[in-house]
Amino acid sequence: MSLKNRKIIVGITGGIAAYKTPGLIRLLKKDGAEVQAVMTDAATKFITELTIETVSQRPVAREMFPKTRYVATHHIDLAEWADIFVVAPATANFVGKIASGICDDLLTTVICATKSPVMISPSMNSNMYLNPITQNNLKKLKSLGYIILDPNVGEMACETYGPGRMPEPHEIHQFVRQFFEKKKSLSKKKVLVTAGPCREPIDPVRFISNRSSGKMGFALALAAHNAGAEVTLISGPTSLAPEPGIELINVETTEQMHKAVQREFKKSHILIMAAAPADFKAGKIAGEKIKKAQRKSLSLSLSTTIDILEGLKKTKKKGQVVVGFALETDNALKNARAKLKSKDLDLIIVNSLKDGAPFDSDSNKVTLVGRTGRAESLPQMSKRELAEIIVTKISKLK
């Protein structure tokens, strides 16, 4: 039984394909899973609660505010209980609500509250499925990490022919199995990721910094964590929080990041240096706030900070993989290849500001350059998708 002890929430929305869902629940149960069904009101027009309760052997969750056994954190308990959500069938209305963050019933609220993976099987009339609004919603959900099962093409309940049919129960069962069986490409690996900007103080209230948001580094830490790695994230000041299970070390200055990286690198198989350390620091940090009264201008003398990656070249052991980033405004590839060589990197991810500034954006367009110098340009995509591609690439480096 490959789904033994897996906790699965099966969401059922109001589409004709709901008649197939009891078959799916039976297969999941037979395979060892615990199944909790959550139905929308519309779903109960197509299939009864009694049928679903009988096959799942549990009461159906449907009401946001049930009159009996009501606990205010009902939706959070469900959201935390599940190892995975499978919504089959998922109507255009449900897809639209999830993509817009609308929580107006138990199912949409629980999905909004969960950190578990969510698999969605859009099932609807072909015109509704192909409607650009539905397609945009599905694209958005995909880019946010939702798993979208493409519908089958065939004859629909409305006697039209096209895409929109919910896959058969045994097909969805296989998707769920494959999800859990997917070999974790970085299991037993220790991955060190750095993220965010560094701050170099000028006086007790002012600092020099840069525009890094930390989003790329946090996405990489999550992707490595999802690939089975033990992840330590060293981050400069950001407004982000890592997923539970990722160790976070907060630092502020480049010197602090340098010390933390040196200490943690010794224990790591892979380093992904996505942080933007400050390149310059104040030559002298004023002990008291620099007052502006009687000043027309202020000159700061700056000195360069330590280059963290450069410093690791001497300590890098055989088999350790080091990945860097390059942020360039001109001659992006030439400069990146030079950095790859001088910093002895296994892979460099090149951001060219000519392709648009990645700062604080949820998406990015990059080129990957490996040790051979060969460049692979990727299209614009979400930082989350990009992180998965980079982590897959890194897992194949040796």
User: According to the binding rule CB under 6 A, does residue 218 interact with ligand CTP?
Assistant: no
Binding window for ligand CTP (CB under 6 A); candidates: 1-9, 18-26, 125-133, 275-283 = 275-283
Distance of alpha carbon 135 from the chain centroid: 21
d(CA 99, CA 120): 12
Q: Is 284 helix (H, G, I), strand (E, B) or coil?
A: coil
User: According to the binding rule CB under 6 A, does residue 213 interact with ligand CTP?
Assistant: no
- Site residues for ligand CTP, window 301-360 (CB under 6 A)? 305, 307-309, 324-327, 339
- Asked if 231 and 193 count as a contact pair (C-beta separation under 8 A), the reply is yes
Of the candidates 279, 365, 265, 381, the residue with the CA atom closest to the CA atom of residue 323: 265
User: How many residues form the binding site for ligand CTP (CB under 6 A)?
Assistant: 14
Of the candidates 238, 218, 246, the residue with the CA atom closest to the CA atom of residue 387: 218
Number of other residues whose CB lies within 10 A of the CB of residue 339: 18
Binding window for ligand CTP (CB under 6 A); candidates: 59-67, 87-95, 217-225, 270-278 = 270-278
CB of 375 to ligand CTP, least distance (A): 16
Which residue, 133 or 397, has its beta carbon nearer to ligand CTP?
397
If you ran DSSP here, which 8-state letter would residue 243 be given? P
Is 158 a residue of the active site? yes
Paired with 247 in beta bridges are 232
The correct pick among 275, 332, 369, 386 for binding ligand CTP (CB under 6 A) is 275
- Site residues for ligand CTP, window 236-265 (CB under 6 A)? 254
Instruction: Dig out the tokens for 241 from the structure.
Output: 């929080």
User: According to the binding rule CB under 6 A, does residue 138 interact with ligand CTP?
Assistant: no
CB of 391 to ligand CTP, least distance (A): 16
Q: Is 233 helix (H, G, I), strand (E, B) or coil?
A: strand
Q: Tokens 């964590």 correspond to what residue?
A: 225
User: According to the binding rule CB under 6 A, does residue 176 interact with ligand CTP?
Assistant: no
Which residue, 151 or 324, has its beta carbon nearer to ligand CTP?
324
Q: Tokens 């600092």 correspond to what residue?
A: 207
User: According to the binding rule CB under 6 A, does residue 273 interact with ligand CTP?
Assistant: yes
- Asked if 203 and 285 count as a contact pair (C-beta separation under 8 A), the reply is yes
Q: Return the active site residues.
A: 158
- Residues near ligand CTP (CB under 6 A) are 254, 273, 275, 277, 279, 305, 307-309, 324-327, 339
